[in-house]
Structure 1
């Protein structure tokens, strides 16, 4: 995602001239100066990284004889990698404080699929425990 930011800054000063091109003086005889302004700009290029692993299943309470499913409880978990980084082209002084903070973030390597699955499995364990708790009242 790209966005352009600009800002007007003071860049030195210049003398105020009268209609004849002479420098205007103040009441004390000093030359009158005004700040010279210019516009600076920069393009902020944001990179959004996203990767997710979703684990889903069912906890079943099964009667042995005769074999039949008494109750099913769906369980699931998700592991998400999300990261935002940015770089700028142009004069970074034109960027907002928020954009300057984003510049501190550099792109990261994506996690391996297995790492996301392992992280999700930890969350899935809690979901399974909860599912077993729902089934506990049916067990005699």
Structure 2
């Protein structure tokens, strides 16, 4: 039996990238819709486990961020699962508002059609300019304003 805490066991089991990151997929705990994918560093995963709300790492800003910290559209964590290779985290969460900084419930609001075109297949759940204003940094992945 391990003398380490369950959190220490989990964190040492994970296969982090060379940059110290791991991809995290967030799925709606009730209807199983994939809401978003973002990166976590060790601190973001620790904060997620400690607070019960999702935290991520922005590669573009090189900083941690709390999902919903700006918008109020937080994600309440129901469970955290690890894939068979221990290199992806799956977070099942209850989403408040939209997960996408573009105003959609899910970041996956576009479908690739057979002709190669993209089709918007969802409606917005909030007006992004009402939440983020007209800031230029509100338009790029990964959620730079959260």
Name the one with the larger strand percent: 1
* Same fold, TM-score > 0.5, yes or no: no
- Determine which structure has the larger helix proportion and give its number: 1
The two structures have a TM-score, normalised by structure 1, of 0.20
- Please say which structure displays the higher CA radius of gyration: 1
Relative CO higher for 1 or 2, CA cutoff 8 Å, sep ≥ 6?
A: 1
